[in-house]
Amino acid sequence: MTKYIGQRLLAAIPTVLGVCLIVFLLMYFSPYDAAREMGRINHLNAEQIDNLRQEMGLNLPFGPRLANYFLGLLKGDLGKSFVQRMPVTQMIATRLWTTAELALSGMFLATVFGIGLGVLAAMKENSVGDTFSMVVALLGSAMPDFWLALIMIFIFSLTLRWLPTLGQGDLKHLIMPAFVVGLTEAGVIARTVRSSLVEIMHEDYIRTARAKGLKERLVIIRHGLRNALIPTVTIIGINMAAVLGGVVIVETVFSREGIGRLAVDSVTFFDMPVVQGTVLLAALVFIFINLAVDITYAFFDPRIRYDARR
């Protein structure tokens, strides 16, 4: 098991380095001149713009800039915001929990609803309940985030006045954004669980378990669902990474000060170090969550542990 985890960690290192390099190249070869734009906004003359460019390190050639970039990453330094003149690391750190809170709560709801709906559909295969469950799952995954968010605001904030409309703070501010994320992601999980469980329930060992007199509930949970969770874990991991990196719309609609809002504001004001930092963070989160999914396979499938020892 330890050897398997070590192999996966080593395999992730080149990917992480490649992502860091790609993010740097995208920013380096961008036609946008941050110093000139800042000079235009602040009405600076040509000499002041040149001084600003030198202060930002934009006048350095490719090699030194790349070296400074990777040395900064090793120190946890993502540079300084051109607009707010604050360290990018600090700006991301102050907003990271807001996004993580939304993503984790939303994916928790998606996992609970998705697995429950998928198991219900698989137990009633080809029945009215199966069809209804899959229609609900399809509608959930097909609804755009912004549309569902606006509908929930209209119903629960403006009409019923149960929940606050915008902002963040206590649990009431989290309920609607979490449900928007959860409901749109639950449909994919439900369809994955249903298809995997239906296939597994026709296997020989399931018929053997039933022949032994086990209750259907135990057969599904103990023998069927555990094996069906292997592809489901993949979907949950991919969706979790996508949610962490892509809650821009939900955070914007509900005015939550998270990483998504930070990325949007940075693009609006051409704050390239912050854009670079948020893009890099999203890519690294995706890599490490997929790494965690790979490691999780070893707990669900003993054959992976056996293969790692060979």
pLDDT digits (tens, 9 = 90+) for 87-131: 888 888 888 888 888 888 988 998 898 888 888 888 877 788 888
The beta-carbon contacts of 201-204 under 8 Å, at least 24 apart in sequence, are 201/122, 201/125
Q: What is the pLDDT of residues 223-269, one digit of tens each?
A: 777 777 778 888 888 788 777 766 788 888 888 888 888 888 887 77
Domains of the chain and any CATH numbers: 1-81+272-310 (no CATH), 96-270 (1.10.3720.10)
Give the residue, 217 or 145, on which the prediction is more confident.
145
| Residue labelled with tokens 């239906």 | 198
Backbone φ and ψ for 88, nearest 5 degrees, come out as: -65, -35
What would the pLDDT profile of 67-98 be if each residue is shown by its tens digit?
A: 888 888 888 888 888 778 788 888 888 888 88
Q: What is the pLDDT of residues 153-167, one digit of tens each?
A: 899 888 888 888 877
Residue whose structure tokens are 């569902």: 148
Pick from 211, 234, 287, 252: nearest CA to 99: 252
